[in-house]
Structure 1
């Protein structure tokens, strides 16, 4: 039998197993195919595809879709590329539409999907609407007279055994109960049976399922027959670049780049500028990235003051388009570090805007590319501080009792569950050596360790935006972040692996300070033509950084920066890890 209803820890606060552990366990049990059907999401799609490849499993892509207004649900498994796009759109509607109902939303988006439901009424209605649907028998056989079996028999629909799983084995039940208690903000003893998955909801072996369904082996055969119709193993988009308003992107980029070059360098362009422009334009055109540069230029034009940075600063085309403000010719920056025909990765330009202008820029992007743009998400995982705090709350400890331990832990302490002994590591920290851990602290730390690395919720990436030529919800499901912006369900690594090119639009307080300082100059009658100011020109006060007392300069805010500046005697030094950039001591 092929497991068709399997949930990982991306079924937030329900599932316990990581995707790699799930696939590893499936291989050990002897499966050759495995489905991943997390609840209302495709968060784990790319980790799943990669883990299946490593374990030599054939992935089956799907999701469990729930009705927000009731207990109705359906498992949607992807048969074709069209089915994948429809699943993304269905999940997006589930998260984005106020009046979403599963019964009405699914039929128009069912092409290319196999739908499993245990609800007899939905089975009847969806079958009448032309949906490819089958009756889903849960963890144990149903009696012959059960309404679901009778309905399926009347409609001549397959009845398949789909014993859904939430964890790898019975040993994971305590972790599942802890996650449910955290999610419900209650104690373990107050959890109702409806708050938890059944205790036998683990991934069993084929032999185990055969024993469970010995009374109706035909349901196991139906499951395998349905699985054979599922040939889709994951999307293959290639590189997905933002669209431009005309098809002639190569000519448009050339025209814009030369116009910008004449603004930067004057009417007569030197041979070095022309040669470098031609080289870059040829590579950009060959790699198919012309539209990307035009879209980024369109975005940065919304602000009079931006700072393009990263390896994109090595591009003369970016400099001429106003995306960056450092001349790569003057500073001898190597374009191949940014784009190289020998590499397949997409361009990556980070653009800073004034911190209080960035949200307006994002709003303009979402308005212009409505339905085609969303921000990248972050998958926030349980780390030591969060895990200890949440588990201790389940045990009934007060905030002061919890804070006595958690405030002694580093704010950004990252730890992996497999190789971390929280009790030992906390006890070894100098600031925690005086702490005692009476009962129930040993149990709290043990439970907290189990949930390390488990996803807790989604947040918004610091600035990554994806713009797609087709509606974005045909590539990836989207949902709305608490701050109101649309986000895709993948974090940045999965986004890049999928081939979706992100543009980082970031907020920078220094640009706001510069803007306000220039406004003050104007108010005080001091003329300053910002357009004629040469970025990178040094206004370094002699000896200002050398003695090392200043901590208020940009990127010069830590004692080690002051110490390095003092040792350099105020001379120029090369920043580690950035061989192409020189910084006067005391400024970087």
Structure 2
């Protein structure tokens, strides 16, 4: 008698250029049929495992993390029972994707702990039985063709003879018939062929649908034990990934004191170098930040980054911290950043606060010529088995998707270029608005074939993961062997990278540091050297040099990092900067948020006194006076929430994340009602 069924062999679009289903669609489909558990077994890699784990739990489903790998003994589906099994899974995937070989029988034996194996071939069943014992199952597929039926009879006979249980291993790739078309298109792109010739290459059988429970029971009516085995496996698999908590390596200070006291002493020493007199404001800011850093568990993070900076300084490698870490007086005291956050009125809560759950980013700009020296230091210091470069997940953008689909539908390069160059940048979903807004698009043959099908498919695969590449500077450092938590693979440039992007790495609580090669720092260093050689004097900087600002006001900044683009040169001419803060303001105004919302134009009109400076509420004047009543900086979002709604810095920090990341977290209730009555 059938007691239930669990789809254990589902695939998403993290089976790159093969799977047509996004994780959201797959999970909704599984839940829609009433299933409570789902196994994800994407091909060869674990790229979507962390996201799948989180999303499945959010939707009330039990996730089973697995991987389908073509090994030297045949096709195997490995499922993790626990964290030990997950670590084994990471290693087997790494064998395939980093070392570029099929796992051997010895590899499988060495990394079999904590795994359930669904074996789809027959040749090594006895050997695998000795390795896995009761965690080995013979996989059966329900395809109704002569070859599959004959193979299933043989599998049933063999498994009975060797006392191995059989289990349903039906692949799930499709929810609807249109998914087959998407799959074939992705496969054609992968194999560099046309959609007409895809049948000559590997692609999935059209029967690979997710079946509702009543249908799957009919398919295995004579062998209910095959379906019941899926429930047995689901009960064995109880993996809880260590997400949402910190997983940092412990810094060893060598002084016999706690890392808190070590950080405090080091920062106090640096603080005295920057401030001749420690005012109450400086000391209060120092104590407040140190308490939050300790409370949130980032003491080791700061010490590790500080150690990297110290290595750079000791070896004459130009280095400077960038981004929101400049808001920290601790980072200023440690020499990570060069900006006085008090003098520049920078807001620490923008970088870190007690309610923040994801690790803050500390990015370091390095001389690009000597970046490899710094990377080698990190690898040697923390162990090459605990450090790796982070990947970037490359996805299909609108134009790129249309271009690749055009090729598989037989369009020439000229036809594709002529079509795509008339499309503005943007999402395909906004196509109707695009046609209305841009006259040059109105005569495009969007309703003719194959363009209509190309646009339809491009809309569906836009945003789908395509392949991995190397992050521009991100490295991950693990407190344990990295393969315990993260699978690796070889990048196109021959460098080992994580299979997880920075978001999944952060969810696992691992320390991520961006070590970015910066040509501008190298140019400055070369300039300083030439100046010293020519003058025989040390180089001193004047941040209010009149001649320099005259050049800035004329927009003569070609070759100057960050302010050399045509848009910024034009903005500098309008803005007429007189201080460093004005340059910072220009960099903020040119970003898409301020530019596209109209804030940039409104600011310039108020600066030129074409329009009056106005504040929505008197409470906002001290917050927005610097930007003439406009919200330009992210810090101003936080301070606005504090001023108008009475939010704490921690509560206000939810606001920038909500619109930027479409966070599902609710903004905590504060004293907003008190402020509302004032309007």
Report the TM-score when normalising by structure 1: 0.88
Q: Which residue of 1 aligns with 2:607?
A: none
Match of 1:408 among 403, 422, 443: 422
1:145 & 1:43 partners in 2: Cα distance?
31
Match of 1:294 among 292, 295, 303: 303
Match of 1:174 among 163, 181, 189: 181
Give 3-state SS (helix, strand or coil) of 1:404's partner: helix
Deviation at 1:551, TM superposition (A): 4.0
Give 3-state SS (helix, strand or coil) of 1:325's partner: coil
Equivalent residues in 2 for 1:468-487, closer than 5 Å: 468-487=478-497
Equivalent residues in 2 for 1:336-415, closer than 5 Å: 336-369=349-382, 370-410=384-424, 413-415=425-427
Match of 1:105 among 104, 107, 130: 107
Q: Does 1:538 align with 2:551?
A: no
**Change over 3 Å in CA distance of 1:402–1:296 after alignment to 2:** same
Give 3-state SS (helix, strand or coil) of 1:77's partner: strand
Task: Kindly indicate whether the alpha-carbon contact (under 8 Å) linking 2:95 and 2:103 is maintained by their aligned counterparts in 1.
Answer: no
Match of 1:58 among 56, 62, 68: 62
Task: Kindly indicate whether the alpha-carbon contact (under 8 Å) linking 1:62 and 1:76 is maintained by their aligned counterparts in 2.
Answer: yes
Task: Kindly indicate whether the alpha-carbon contact (under 8 Å) linking 1:351 and 1:505 is maintained by their aligned counterparts in 2.
Answer: yes
Q: Does 1:305 align with 2:318?
A: yes
Q: Which residue of 2 aligns with 1:285?
A: 294
The structure whose RCO (Cα within 8 Å, separation 6+) is larger is: 1
**Change over 3 Å in CA distance of 1:508–1:145 after alignment to 2:** closer
1:334 & 1:511 partners in 2: Cα distance?
26
Q: Which residue of 2 aligns with 1:163?
A: 170
Task: Kindly indicate whether the alpha-carbon contact (under 8 Å) linking 1:10 and 1:44 is maintained by their aligned counterparts in 2.
Answer: yes
Give 3-state SS (helix, strand or coil) of 1:195's partner: coil
Task: Kindly indicate whether the alpha-carbon contact (under 8 Å) linking 2:45 and 2:97 is maintained by their aligned counterparts in 1.
Answer: no
Q: Which residue of 2 aligns with 1:92?
A: 94
Deviation at 1:545, TM superposition (A): 5.3
Task: Kindly indicate whether the alpha-carbon contact (under 8 Å) linking 2:321 and 2:365 is maintained by their aligned counterparts in 1.
Answer: yes
**Change over 3 Å in CA distance of 1:216–1:245 after alignment to 2:** same
RMSD: 3.1
Further displaced range: 136-145 or 396-405: 136-145
Deviation at 1:560, TM superposition (A): 4.9
1:96 & 1:567 partners in 2: Cα distance?
52
Task: Kindly indicate whether the alpha-carbon contact (under 8 Å) linking 1:242 and 1:466 is maintained by their aligned counterparts in 2.
Answer: no
Q: Which residue of 1 aligns with 2:141?
A: 138
Residues 110-138 of structure 1 show CA distances to partners (whole Å, capped at 9, x for unaligned) of 22111111122332211112452111112
Task: Kindly indicate whether the alpha-carbon contact (under 8 Å) linking 1:139 and 1:164 is maintained by their aligned counterparts in 2.
Answer: no
**Change over 3 Å in CA distance of 1:434–1:236 after alignment to 2:** closer
1:581 & 1:502 partners in 2: Cα distance?
36
The total of aligned residue pairs comes to 572
**Change over 3 Å in CA distance of 1:388–1:232 after alignment to 2:** same
Task: Kindly indicate whether the alpha-carbon contact (under 8 Å) linking 1:546 and 1:567 is maintained by their aligned counterparts in 2.
Answer: no
**Change over 3 Å in CA distance of 1:479–1:154 after alignment to 2:** same
Deviation at 1:480, TM superposition (A): 2.0
Residues 27-57 of structure 1 show CA distances to partners (whole Å, capped at 9, x for unaligned) of 1111111111111222112332333234322
Task: Kindly indicate whether the alpha-carbon contact (under 8 Å) linking 2:552 and 2:572 is maintained by their aligned counterparts in 1.
Answer: yes
Task: Kindly indicate whether the alpha-carbon contact (under 8 Å) linking 1:115 and 1:133 is maintained by their aligned counterparts in 2.
Answer: yes
Equivalent residues in 2 for 1:61-460, closer than 5 Å: 61-67=65-71, 72-97=74-99, 100-131=102-133, 132-140=135-143, 142=149, 146-192=153-199, 195-236=202-243, 238-246=245-253, 248-265=258-275, 273-303=282-312, 304-369=317-382, 370-410=384-424, 413-415=425-427, 419-421=429-431, 425=434, 429-433=438-442, 435-436=444-445, 439-460=449-470
Give 3-state SS (helix, strand or coil) of 1:10's partner: coil
Deviation at 1:86, TM superposition (A): 1.8
Structure whose residues are more often helix by fraction: 2
Structure 2: give runs of 5+ residues left out of the alignment: 590-622, 628-632, 634-679
**Change over 3 Å in CA distance of 1:125–1:258 after alignment to 2:** same
Deviation at 1:512, TM superposition (A): 1.9
Further displaced range: 10-19 or 297-306: 297-306
1:448 & 1:144 partners in 2: Cα distance?
38
Residues 411-452 of structure 1 show CA distances to partners (whole Å, capped at 9, x for unaligned) of xx4526xx4558x84685344445456543333323333322
Task: Kindly indicate whether the alpha-carbon contact (under 8 Å) linking 1:96 and 1:480 is maintained by their aligned counterparts in 2.
Answer: yes
Deviation at 1:7, TM superposition (A): 0.3
**Change over 3 Å in CA distance of 1:545–1:274 after alignment to 2:** same
**Change over 3 Å in CA distance of 1:100–1:251 after alignment to 2:** farther
Task: Kindly indicate whether the alpha-carbon contact (under 8 Å) linking 2:551 and 2:557 is maintained by their aligned counterparts in 1.
Answer: no
Further displaced range: 502-511 or 2-11: 502-511
Deviation at 1:24, TM superposition (A): 0.5
Task: Kindly indicate whether the alpha-carbon contact (under 8 Å) linking 2:140 and 2:152 is maintained by their aligned counterparts in 1.
Answer: no
Task: Kindly indicate whether the alpha-carbon contact (under 8 Å) linking 2:434 and 2:441 is maintained by their aligned counterparts in 1.
Answer: no
Deviation at 1:378, TM superposition (A): 1.6
Deviation at 1:74, TM superposition (A): 1.1
Q: Does 1:514 align with 2:524?
A: yes
Give 3-state SS (helix, strand or coil) of 1:15's partner: coil
Give 3-state SS (helix, strand or coil) of 1:169's partner: coil
**Change over 3 Å in CA distance of 1:357–1:539 after alignment to 2:** farther
Further displaced range: 14-23 or 99-108: 99-108
1:359 & 1:431 partners in 2: Cα distance?
47
Q: Which residue of 2 aligns with 1:500?
A: 510
Give 3-state SS (helix, strand or coil) of 2:63's partner: strand
Further displaced range: 448-457 or 254-263: 254-263
Task: Kindly indicate whether the alpha-carbon contact (under 8 Å) linking 2:139 and 2:169 is maintained by their aligned counterparts in 1.
Answer: yes
Q: Does 1:575 align with 2:585?
A: yes
